[in-house]
Amino acid sequence: MAKYSIAWMPGDGIGNDVMQATRLVLDAMKLDAEYVPCDIGWEFWCKEGNPLPDRSVKVLNSTTCGLFGAITSKPQDEAKDELAPELKGKGLVYFSPIVKLRQMFNLHTNMRPCKSYEGNPLNYRGTRLANPDSRDIMIDQVVFRENTEGMYGGVEFFPVPEPVYTALCANPKMKPWKDKGLENVALSTRIVSVQGCTNICRQAFEYAKRTGRKRVTLVEKPNVLRETGGLMTRIFRKLAEEYKPAGIWADEANIDAICMWMFKNPQDYSVLVAENMFGDIVSDLCAGLVGGLGFAPSANLGDRYAVFEPTHGSAPKYAGQYKVNPHAMLLTAKMMLDWLGGGAEKDKAARLESAIARVIKEGKVKTYDMGGKNTTIEVAEEVAKHAG
Ligand code: NAI
Ligand code: MG
């Protein structure tokens, strides 16, 4: 029996392309794993009315961890239109299977490293004044994004049920919407908890302590989101005191301000921590600074289970063309190897990252986004040559 069993979730679109490329590299590295096919995504919504079929939940429940490519998600009206004819009109409601999976398995922590690799033609070169020689600005940041609560918690209403509306209207600030009428109002909520905020902040500080990083920045907006942002900020400050003796400097930035500061002085940031939506936003910004979505891996971490996925989506216009950059997915596999732990797997993770860095630096084999003409598979083969 193999040492690990990995739920294998290519999903939709380029998810298939990059997962195939990754399998090639993992096989070359002789990872002792069984890969268990796991259906997820738009295809299964259209065919079966469920983007995360029960059989897939069983696979997830019986494996060591999951590796996920990308899925296609569309708004509710389009989702209903694309259902198989026999499933139409049955009241089926589309949900994002990756959001559901994160909640179902309590994968509370989304870790998103953004790191520049030497020689990447897409490395950020800063603003002209900040960087008159136009040299690459080398970035090495890790975003910790709360993964199950906040704006993406999924508690939304349209139409807003009467009791909810009535309760909201007890707040005098509801007047403008009360005047517009119940039928004209949609509601998305931002619910956070002491447990959720404490966990994500602690993960960020612990990571900084473990890896010798000296700065942890909270990304919030407590001056406007006074209750949810306020709670997160108070918890962050309390934990910051605890980690001060370890030499970790904690600071805070508003989500809008950091979009500007990150652009001007990205090298100043190291570990960032944020609620679900703000973490989503800031991590895409960080990804842009290290070359875009082709370089942005992520891990959804729980206490016992984890699912690893690149930050990018299914890029339908490139589906099946083997054109897109596999580095994000390969760096994702590297995170999985690190998580699997054990000396042997940690060695493999380090070997894989060096191989990726080498292929980027040599610049001979690269996909379109890096100015090359190679296919997804050719890049993976080149990585496999050095990692295997
Ligand atoms: P996307 O990430 O799929 O693609 C946006 C653009 O980024 C692409 O057109 C391409 O130019 C570039 N890109 C993405 N990955 C790349 C790679 N590996 N190499 C080179 N270039 C790459 O985002 P978009 O277009 O907003 O969404 C497409 C679909 O993906 C939607 O249905 C969306 O809901 C879904 N999505 C799924 C995610 C997931 O599975 N976790 C995350 C984000 C979007
Ligand atoms: Mg995103």
Residue 325 Cβ contacting ligand 1 at under 6 Å: yes
C-alpha of 185 from chain center = 30
Atom 44 of ligand 1, nearest CA residue:
313
User: Is pLDDT of 51 > 90?
Assistant: yes
Q: What is the pLDDT of residue 357?
A: 98
User: Is pLDDT of 129 > 90?
Assistant: no
Closest ligand 1 atom, CA of 318? Answer: 9
Residue type, 353: E
Going by the DSSP 8-state scheme, the letter that residue 341 receives in this structure is: -
pLDDT band at 376 (very low <50, low <70, confident <90, very high): very high
Residue 293 Cβ contacting ligand 1 at under 6 Å: yes
Residue 73 Cβ contacting ligand 1 at under 6 Å: yes
Q: What is the pLDDT of residue 133?
A: 72
- Tell me the average pLDDT across 178-193: 94
- Tell me the average pLDDT across 281-306: 96
**CATH classification code of 124-151+195-289:** 3.40.50
- Tell me the average pLDDT across 66-86: 95
Q: What is the pLDDT of residue 273?
A: 98
CB burial of 283-313 (b: ≥16 within 10 Å; e: otherwise) equals bbbbbbbbbbbbbbbbbbbbeebbbbbbbbb
User: Is pLDDT of 147 > 90?
Assistant: yes
Q: What are phi and psi of 36, to 5 degrees?
A: -100, 115
Domain boundaries for CATH 3.40.718.10 within the chain: 1-108+297-388
Closest ligand 1 atom, CA of 309? Answer: 41
Residue 300 Cβ contacting ligand 1 at under 6 Å: no
Residue type, 320: G
Residue of 312, 368, 374 with the most ligand 1 atoms within 8 Å of its CB, for mutation: 312
- Tell me the average pLDDT across 64-84: 96
Domain boundaries for CATH 3.40.50 within the chain: 124-151+195-289
Q: Reduce the secondary structure of 285-330 to three states and give it as a string.
A: HHHHHCCCHHHCEEEEECCCCEEEEECCCCCHHHCCCCCCCCHHHH
Q: What is the pLDDT of residues 190-249, one digit of tens each?
A: 999 999 999 999 999 999 999 999 999 999 999 999 999 999 999 999 999 999 999 999
The residue to which tokens 């961890």 are assigned: 65
For the domain made up of 1-108+297-388, the CATH class stated in words is: alpha beta
User: Is pLDDT of 48 > 90?
Assistant: yes
Residue type, 211: T
Higher pLDDT, 50 or 129: 50
What whole-number distance in Å separates Cα of residue 115 and Cα of residue 122? 12
Higher pLDDT, 343 or 143: 143
pLDDT band at 135 (very low <50, low <70, confident <90, very high): confident
Using CA atoms, how far residue 14 sits from 37, 44, 366, in Å, is: 17, 16, 17
- Ligand that lies nearest to the alpha carbon of residue 285, given by its number in the listed order: 2
Closest ligand 1 atom, CA of 41? Answer: 40
What whole-number distance in Å separates Cα of residue 127 and Cα of residue 331? 28
pLDDT band at 342 (very low <50, low <70, confident <90, very high): confident
Give the 3-state secondary structure of residue 251: strand
Q: What is the pLDDT of residue 131?
A: 67
